[in-house]
Structure 1
Amino acid sequence: MHEETGLSVLDPLLFTVVSGPDTFVRLPNGDEFYQVSAAYVVRRWEGVPRADGLEGTELRFWPLDALPHGLGPVDRAALAHLRVCVGVL
């Protein structure tokens, strides 16, 4: 997290793990795999958000009801779960 964003996470809470048929990826070189991603709820962090310029060119926080288009299946699945649980965590 720190390497890509400049942020150090404090007290992360494991929220969900996402995988399954919708996470299948086939790379241009022919490699195939299913993604497995852990999503955390983070309420406290240290540092100033900054994109590393390699894995991302922009970094900012978004309201759940105004997320950018083009999110991948893993992101969509984790956010759908989060929307159901808002107010519970």
Structure 2
Amino acid sequence: MRIRKKPLGDKNLVGARIESIRRNRGMKQKELLAQLQVRGVDINASALSKLEGQLRTVTDIELLAFAEILDVDVFWLLTGESQQL
């Protein structure tokens, strides 16, 4: 497992949470990229790394795919909080 060399950026709110939950579930970036491909989301390893490092923006289509693949709520990805109804 590589350690991030650069500090987190400010281009998105979700990258650090995506990386955290992916790592907690033992999922490699390569596996996440494959699942994104299946859902028609075409990003490469560099783009995913930048997204997780908050150095790249995330699209709404990507956000929905991440939520589905990681089995988390979009609201949680955006805020880190559970949605109270």
TM class by smaller structure: under 0.3
Bigger helix share = 2
- Which of these two proteins has the greater Rg computed from alpha carbons? 1
* TM-score using structure 2 length: 0.25
User: Greater relative contact order (Cα 8 A, min sep 6): structure 1 or 2?
Assistant: 2
* TM-score scaled by length of structure 1: 0.24
Question: Greater strand percent: which structure?
Answer: 1
